[in-house]
């Protein structure tokens, strides 16, 4: 079976569902999710605007939540599903 690329925005549940469903179909299931999306603006911690901070939180926290939410049904089917969260 060949690998299939599936790009998506971790801040959008539809993209995360598409990613998990594609992985399930192409690879026959999901045994491990490594949630590793993270960003931080290239500036000093005192300089980001509230909008910059919202984008960091949307990617780092919400993105992790949405990836887990989308993959959880497939991980449960695996009976050995594991989640690794790094940032």
**Domain extent listing, the chain:** 13-85
Question: 6: how many CB neighbours lie within 10 A of its CB?
Answer: 13
Name the pTM for this structure. 0.85
Residues 6+ apart with CB under 8 A from 15: 8, 9
In tens, the pLDDT along 12-36 reads 999 999 999 999 999 999 999 999 9
In tens, the pLDDT along 31-67 reads 999 999 899 889 999 999 999 999 999 999 999 999 9
Residues 6+ apart with CB under 8 A from 2: none
CATH of domain 13-85: 3.40.50.720
Relative orientation angle of helices 63-78 and 13-27, to the nearest 10 degrees = 30
């Amino acid at each position: 079976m060949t690998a299939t690329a599936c790009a998506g925005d971790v801040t959008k549940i539809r993209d995360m569902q598409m990613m998990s469903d594609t992985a399930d179909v192409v690879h026959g299931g999901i045994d491990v999710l490594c949630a590793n999306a993270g960003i931080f603006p290239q500036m000093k911690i005192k300089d980001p605007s509230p909008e910059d901070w919202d984008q960091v939180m949307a990617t780092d926290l919400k993105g992790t939540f949405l990836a887990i939410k989308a993959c959880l049904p497939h991980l449960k089917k695996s009976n050995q599903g594991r989640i690794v969260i790094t940032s």
